[in-house]
Amino acid sequence: MVEGPCPWYRKQGWVLVLLLFVPPVGIALLWWGKHFTQRTRGVLTAASALLFLVVISTSGKRSARKNADGGEPVSPASPTTASAPSHSQQPAVGGAGRGDPATGKTAEVAPGEAAWERARRSRNGQVAVRHEDFGEEWPLTVEAGTIRCEPPSIVTFSASDGRIFGVNGMGMAHHSQIDPIWADDPSPTGRAAKLKKSIGPLISLGLFLCKQVE
């Protein structure tokens, strides 16, 4: 009986490839064919089986490590998507107290909140501000005055004696510098560097008024 052509998977080259990449199939074909001596088959079988065990062991360790790590790390939230706290959410540092009718206790109000409430009701582009509204964050040496917006974005402070000072850059370009009534920063670092207290709260209030009168 004449045998047909040898199938590709029984050729010597393919048997070696399968021993390397698919050891179980390669070992079966190795012993099915007659390309190698019995001793060579034994050596190739041992080598292929060892390779197969190494691959299985490495794969198992990687899976266990991934499970132990708890999967993919969670990305931190983007600062551009985090919402800014409202003025009512600001930490209470001084300022007037507000009664809680449910408990009868007085709750601390965020610095400047009373002024912000007046600004929200303002329709003429100005609001009265007082030292007691801001507590320790009050940045001026005078006790009270009026923050005013001159459209489109000029913020001024009018003192009780009639003097008008520019608060932001646009304001100081059209009015007197606010330095004569701008309080020094009392912190050790501020005193050492001769810094002023932050005037940002008054600027923010004034720019809010500008939006109100647009």
Predicted model pTM: 0.51
pLDDT (0 to 100) of residue 22: 72
What token pair was written down for 107? 């709750």
Q: What is the pLDDT of residues 155-196, one digit of tens each?
A: 999 999 999 999 999 999 999 999 999 999 999 998 999 999
Q: What are the tens digits of pLDDT across the range 48-64?
A: 777 777 777 777 666 65
Burial profile 97-131: b = 16 or more Cβ within 10 angstroms, e = fewer: eeeeeeeeeeeebbbbbbbbebbeebeebbbebeb
Model confidence pLDDT, tens digit, residues 84-124: 334 444 433 344 444 555 555 555 668 899 999 999 999 99
